[in-house]
Amino acid sequence: MLGDRLSTSKAVREEHGRDIAHPDAQPADAVAFPLTTEEVASIVRICHAEGTPVIAYGVGTSLEGHVLAPNGGICIDLGRMDQVVAVNERDLDVTVQPGVTREALNTHLRDTGLFFPIDPGANATLGGMAATRASGTNAVRYGTMRENVLALEVVLADGSIIHTGTRARKSSAGYDLTRLFVGSEGTLGIITQVTLRVHGIPEAMSAAVCTFEDLRGAVETVIETIQLGVPVARIELLDELMIRAVNQYSKLSLREAPTLFLEFHGSQSAVQEHATTVASIAQEHGGQGFEWALKPEERTRLWKARHDAAWAALAMRPGSTSIATDVCVPISRLADCILETKRDVDSVSVWAPIVGHVGDGNFHLVLLVDRANPAEVEAAVQLNERLVRRALQMGGTCTGEHGIGVGKQQFLLEEAGAGGVALMRQIKRTLDPKGILNPGKIFAADP
Which residues within the stretch 222-241 sit at the binding site for a copy of itself (CB under 8 A)? Answer: 223, 226-229
Determine the length of the chain: 447
Q: In 244-319, at which residue ranges do the beta strands (DSSP E only) sit? A: 259-266, 287-293
3-state SS assignment for residue 330: coil
Identify which range of 34-42, 178-186, 250-258, 287-295 contacts a copy of itself by CB under 8 A.
178-186
Contact 18, 31 (CB under 8 A): no
Among 40, 54, 105, 134, contact with a copy of itself (rule: CB under 8 A): 134
Nearer to a copy of itself, 76 or 118 (CB): 118
Nearer to a copy of itself, 248 or 426 (CB): 426
Contact 96, 196 (CB under 8 A): yes
Nearest to 398 by CA among 354, 362, 351: 362
Q: Alpha-carbon torsion 220, 223, 227, 233, what sign?
A: positive
Indicate whether 328 belongs to the interface with a copy of itself (CB under 8 A): yes
Nearer to a copy of itself, 11 or 173 (CB): 173
- Return the residues of window 257-276 that contact a copy of itself according to CB under 8 A: 267, 269-270, 273
- Return the residues of window 32-71 that contact a copy of itself according to CB under 8 A: none
- Return the residues of window 73-112 that contact a copy of itself according to CB under 8 A: 88, 90-93
Q: Identify the H or E element spanning 84.
A: strand 84-88
* Pure H helices in 228-256: 240-250
CB of 419 to a copy of itself, least distance (A): 4
Contact 71, 439 (CB under 8 A): yes
* Pure H helices in 2-160: 10-15, 37-50, 102-108, 126-131, 139-142, 145-148
Nearer to a copy of itself, 97 or 132 (CB): 132
Interaction mask 409-428, a copy of itself, x per CB under 8 A: --xx--xxx-xxx-xx-xx-
- Parallel/antiparallel/unpaired status of strands 84-88 and 93-96: antiparallel
Nearer to a copy of itself, 32 or 331 (CB): 331
Indicate whether 179 belongs to the interface with a copy of itself (CB under 8 A): yes
State which amino acid sits at residue 71: N
Nearer to a copy of itself, 93 or 240 (CB): 93
Report the alpha-carbon distance of residue 240 to residue 246 in Å, rounded.
10
- Return the residues of window 336-375 that contact a copy of itself according to CB under 8 A: 360-362
Among 331, 365, 368, 387, contact with a copy of itself (rule: CB under 8 A): 331
Report the alpha-carbon distance of residue 150 to residue 164 in Å, rounded.
9
Indicate whether 407 belongs to the interface with a copy of itself (CB under 8 A): no
Identify which range of 143-151, 253-261, 294-302, 367-375 contacts a copy of itself by CB under 8 A.
143-151
Identify which range of 5-13, 205-213, 242-250, 326-334 contacts a copy of itself by CB under 8 A.
326-334
Report the alpha-carbon distance of residue 55 to residue 399 in Å, rounded.
21
- Return the residues of window 296-325 that contact a copy of itself according to CB under 8 A: none
CB of 363 to a copy of itself, least distance (A): 12
CB of 349 to a copy of itself, least distance (A): 30
CA angle 136, 137, 138 (to 5 degrees): 100
Among 21, 67, 130, 329, contact with a copy of itself (rule: CB under 8 A): 329
Report the alpha-carbon distance of residue 356 to residue 361 in Å, rounded.
8
Nearer to a copy of itself, 6 or 270 (CB): 270
CB atoms within 10 A of CB 8: 11
Nearer to a copy of itself, 168 or 375 (CB): 168
